Copies of this chain bind each other. A is one copy, B any other.
Amino acid sequence: MFLHRQELQHAAKPDAPDAVYARKLQEVLGGQYGEITVALQYQFQGWNMHMPGKYRDLVFGIGAEEMGHVEMLAVMIAQLLEKSPLGITEDAVQSDPTVAAVVGGTDVQQGIVAGAGARPVDSNGNPWSGSYITASGNLLADFTANANAEMQGRLQVARLYHMTDDHGVRDLLAFLLARDTMHQNQWLAAAEELKSEGIEELPVPSNFPLAKEDREVSYQYLNFSDGAAARDGSWASGPTPDGKGEFTYHDGPTTTAPMPAPTHPDARFYGTTDVPNTVERIAGAAQDRLHRE
């Protein structure tokens, strides 16, 4: 259950409108690694979680905060669009090149569709998609996904920070950067805690019986490109992070198998084959099928 409070976690007020920047800010609202993604990702992880306690409290606690971040960005964008011009005459462009920049740099749907408002899309206008979310039920995998999401998110906010001089915007971004710092740290700490408590370990999923895996190739670095430098990495020799093996280095594959023969499905799929698909063969297939079934 969610309760909404009509205040923000941090001020979200630009010094001045900036329709071009309003488009850019959409990325961290409705992009692949925007706030809608993390808000829903953490909540889905909570709803699907298979145990009560601190890990579930953790995803619920942060998930709700992220919904509030969506809100801060949305109201910020609406204010950045407040003086967004509708139409641009050629005269206006001639007398002020800034107007030309606005023409091209604006998300035109923020105007035409939302009437100078924020939208659930990224900075290129792609609608937010449920396919951005990761919630697998395996917490070590998912906390790694979360750590990645916070890293990508902080990276994007850092880039956006340099794309404006507006103090109000930068003030909000400074806040979001700090929260992303927290969340990166938190997910990495939580991933370590899972391991130290023996709830999950590497390789994920750790309780798949290793004996059923083709252990021969579990720690081989296979170099399918022709660069020689990868041999120097810690992934090419020495103990593996899961503590269960030793890396070895190999140029190219250590195993091969022949390509299987081409398939010959039912003739009535009308695929092209070297066995002519005559009417007779098709009739035969029909017969054959009745028997097969």
The interface on chain A, measured as residues whose beta carbon lies within 8 A of the other chain's beta carbons, has a size of: 215
Give A120 Cβ to nearest chain B Cβ, in Å.
3
A15 within 8 A of B: no
Given contacts A156-B113, A257-B8, contact A242 B184 (CB under 8 A): yes
Residues of chain B lying within 8 A (CB to CB) of residue A130? 30, 36, 119-121, 127-129
Given contacts A52-B261, A115-B271, A164-B87, contact A213 B61 (CB under 8 A): no
Residues of chain B lying within 8 A (CB to CB) of residue A47? 71, 74-75, 78, 117-118
A85 within 8 A of B: yes
Tell me if A112 and B159 are in contact (CB < 8 A).
yes
Tell me if A57 and B253 are in contact (CB < 8 A).
no
Number of identical protomers = 6
Residues of chain B lying within 8 A (CB to CB) of residue A208? 154, 158, 161, 177, 270
Which of the residues B6, B103, B271 comes within 8 Å of A137, measured between beta carbons?
B271
Complexed CA–CA distance, A13 and B125 (Å): 29
Chain A 125-178 interface residues, beta-carbon cutoff 8 Å to B? 125-141, 144-145, 147-148, 151-152, 154-156, 158-165, 170, 174-175, 177-178
Q: Which residue of B lies closest to A49 (CB)?
A: B262
Complexed CA–CA distance, A104 and B216 (Å): 36
A284 within 8 A of B: no
Given contacts A47-B75, A128-B129, A216-B178, contact A57 B272 (CB under 8 A): no
Tell me if A199 and B74 are in contact (CB < 8 A).
no
Tell me if B241 and A271 are in contact (CB < 8 A).
no
Tell me if B112 and A27 are in contact (CB < 8 A).
yes
Which of the residues B107, B159, B179 comes within 8 Å of A269, measured between beta carbons?
B159
**28 residue pairs from A and B, CB less than 8 Å apart:** A2-B65, A2-B68, A5-B225, A11-B257, A31-B109, A36-B130, A40-B120, A57-B228, A57-B230, A61-B230, A83-B265, A87-B163, A90-B98, A93-B97, A94-B98, A104-B104, A112-B123, A112-B163, A117-B137, A136-B152, A145-B148, A154-B208, A181-B213, A181-B218, A182-B217, A185-B240, A193-B233, A207-B276
Chain A 36-51 interface residues, beta-carbon cutoff 8 Å to B? 36, 40, 43-44, 47-51
